[in-house]
Chains A and B, each alone.
Chain A
Amino acid sequence: EADIYQTPRYLVIGTGKKITLECSQTMGHDKMYWYQQDPGMELHLIHYSYGVNSTEKGDLSSESTVSRIRTEHFPLTLESARPSHTSQYLCASSPISHTEAFFGQGTRLTVV
């Protein structure tokens, strides 16, 4: 089992609130990713990082932001949550070589 953790697992929050989804990995992986999974289960890359102080936007435009101050930590922040942000968010990491990515258990976010 991969050592990558996401908290919280489930979150229901009101419109306009600021939220941070946490993601941590203990494997020392340089690369980390955030995916948004829509109700049809399709996965879209929204952010990625090559390492400390590196953050890039993914293929799907997102109003969220990320930071990478430490190798093991890659939090995602929504400054003002909206119902359109309701989704499942998956965090993943991988070592520098061309191997698979390891996923966290996901955060299911509902904005009411």
Chain B
Amino acid sequence: AQTVTQSQPEMSVQEAETVTLSCTYDTSESDYYLFWYKQPPSRQMILVIRQEAYKQQNATENRFSVNFQKAAKSFSLKISDSQLGDAAMYFCAYRLEGSGYALNFGKGTSLLVTP
């Protein structure tokens, strides 16, 4: 069974600083997709960044980047130049081959951004 583990229930970062959110996963597949989603309070879940396992290059989207370590099954999210609007729950997710290719989520990390 594929599992996704986020070991940091809460993280805090000061505005303009950098923070890294951790995620590990377990799978026997060789080709798969990993995602980071952001869920602001009472708002819609939105995609932050996506990584395809067969691509060795780490994905980057503006201030957001990942450190993908396939052998270690690690997929951390780095947020640079943190902004107040980055405060949210962040979920790491793995796309399941079964279950209609549904996303299997970690338990989430609550990110607090302080001025």
Contacts and interface: CB of A to CB of B under 8 A. Distances in A.
A58 interface: yes
Contacts of A45: 99, 102-104
Nearest to A31: B100
Given A40-B107, A41-B89, A41-B108, A90 B45 contact: yes
Given A90-B45, A103-B45, A106-B44, A42 B107 contact: yes
Interface string A25-51: 000000101000000111101001110
Interface size class of A (residues with CB under 8 A): 20 to 34
B50 A105 contact: no
A10 B89 CA distance: 20
Interface size class of B (residues with CB under 8 A): 20 to 34
Given A41-B89, A48-B102, A98 B33 contact: yes
B84 interface: no
A103 B45 CA distance: 6
Given A41-B107, A42-B108, A104 B44 contact: yes
Interface in B34-48: 35, 37, 39, 43-47
A104 B43 CA distance: 9
Interface of A: 2, 31, 33, 40-43, 45, 48-50, 56, 58-59, 90, 92, 94, 98-106
Interface of B: 33, 35, 37, 39, 43-47, 50, 52, 89, 91, 95, 99-105, 107-108, 110
